[in-house]
């Protein structure tokens, strides 16, 4: 029988009150609290904390505190990753950022979602869908990436956009729900 964590990572309904998941979220909360208390005078400590928190780090990264996440272990970042102040990543499933990604202030990335059936929600069940962000993507401030979306290489997500569907490579999207505004030459 699969564990609640295994079901969570596969995108199946799972019980978030499972003791293992509660402990993993507590670990992430402790690491993010520690990270958010750091100052810019200790970049090595910041990097060590993020490398312990995230599932994988491929190269240079910089995250402006404060930062929040559910687990951290499901966040994977490529080379030259930057997230501005107040970034939130709800990583019940994998969140993957390619190389050279920039996140503006208060960007939110959600993999967590809930069943439409009220009785399942009331029972505490939830599930998730992974989010994938390609190389060279810029996500403007206060943009939201919803569960299950894929952002193509070189795309730009306008400030305040709510991305509910996949974004092709090399375009600018904006609005709620986000739609293609133009192609990037």
Distance between CA atoms of residues 100 and 152, nearest Å: 13
- Other Cβ atoms within 10 Å of 132 Cβ, number: 17
- Ramachandran region, residue 106 (left: φ > 0; alpha: ψ -120 to 50; beta: rest): left
Distance between CA atoms of residues 158 and 2, nearest Å: 40
Distance between CA atoms of residues 181 and 174, nearest Å: 6
Let me know if 114 is a catalytic residue. Answer: yes
Non-local CB neighbours of 48 within 8 Å, separated by 6+ positions: none
Could you say which of 7, 114, 129, 142 is catalytic?
114
Catalytic residues: 114
């Amino acid at each position: 029988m699969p564990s609640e964590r295994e079901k969570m990572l596969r995108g199946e309904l799972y019980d978030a009150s499972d003791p293992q998941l509660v402990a993993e979220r507590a670990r992430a909360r402790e690491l993010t609290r520690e990270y958010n208390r750091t100052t810019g005078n200790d970049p090595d400590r910041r990097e060590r904390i993020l490398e312990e928190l995230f599932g994988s780090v491929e190269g240079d990264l910089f995250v402006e505190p404060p930062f929040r996440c559910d687990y951290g272990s499901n966040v994977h970042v490529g080379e030259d990753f930057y997230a501005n102040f107040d970034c939130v990543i709800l990583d019940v499933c994998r969140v993957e950022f390619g190389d050279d990604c920039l996140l503006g202030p208060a960007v939110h990335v959600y993999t967590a979602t809930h069943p439409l059936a009220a009785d399942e929600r009331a029972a505490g069940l939830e599930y998730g869908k992974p989010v994938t962000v390609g190389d060279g993507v810029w996500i403007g401030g206060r943009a939201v990436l919803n569960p299950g979306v894929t952002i193509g290489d070189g795309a730009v997500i306008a400030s305040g956009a709510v991305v509910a569907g996949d974004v092709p490579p090399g375009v600018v999207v904006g609005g709620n729900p986000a739609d293609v505004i133009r192609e990037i030459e």
